[in-house]
Amino acid sequence: MGGIDLVIIAVIAANVLMSFKGFKDSQFFNKYKFEVSSIKAGDKIRVLSSGFLHVDTTHLFVNMLTLYFFASSVTSFLGTTGFLLVYFGSLIIGNLLSLYFHKEDYAYTAVGASGAVVGVLYAAILLQPDMMLGLFFIIPMPAYVFGIGYLFYSIWAMKARRDNVGHDAHFGGAMGGYFITLLLSPWVLKEHLLMVILLAVPILVLFVLQKMGKL
């Protein structure tokens, strides 16, 4: 196992250890979860720490399995440091976008690495837009089609507000993966320009809708 693989395993291990601690210790869980009122009161560590907590083992397993599948694609192009920048940058940007959309909802709470994981997924899509993904792990689909569709679904879900999923954090994580990858690998603009433009469309749509007061 190389150094790059060890970094991926270390990130997964950190999620597993902190999540299981939270499963068993509600005081620990409540201290480090994303909570608007606490963050606005100055407890900024929650923006980062909440990304290593999960609601249950299924939530943890799905996030870590997705991370495991796509992290190696990112490390092969961006290296260990690039992967870590995408992971932590996407986590933080995802939670900051969530904070922006819920800034008046002081009771809002959330946990999960989904923002970071979606950021890694989007980095992988930008770097290898021709790769195929399995929708629900079964239906084959081009990565860029999945990426665009997922962001538009997230916008719809943010408007509908029919579940307890942090779609805004997922969207922010995708933005993090998108912009950080472009900063680290500007060659993507030349090699995959069409995909860069297509993946930017739902991001523009989100902020247009927000500006119009429709979110």
User: In sequence order, which residues have a C-beta less than 8 Å from that of residue 54 and are 6 or more positions away?
Assistant: 15, 19, 22, 60, 63, 111, 112, 113
Helix (H, G, I), strand (E, B) or coil at 103: coil
Alpha-carbon dihedral 33, 37, 91, 182, rounded to 10 degrees: 180
27: tokens are 């005081």
pLDDT digits (tens, 9 = 90+) for 161-214: 776 667 888 899 999 999 999 999 999 999 989 889 998 998 899 888 888 887
| Residue-level pLDDT at 3 | 47
Global pTM value = 0.90
Low-confidence ranges of the chain (pLDDT < 70): 1-4, 134-138, 163-165
Question: Helical H runs in 25-166?
Answer: 26-32, 36-40, 46-49, 57-101, 114-127, 143-160
| Residue-level pLDDT at 153 | 83
| Residue-level pLDDT at 170 | 87
A 10 A CB-CB count for 194 gives: 9
| Residue-level pLDDT at 163 | 62
Element holding 34 (H helix, E strand): strand 34-35
Q: What is the CA radius of gyration of the chain?
A: 17
| Residue-level pLDDT at 95 | 95
**Helical axes 143-160 vs 167-184, angle rounded to 10°:** 140
| Residue-level pLDDT at 90 | 97
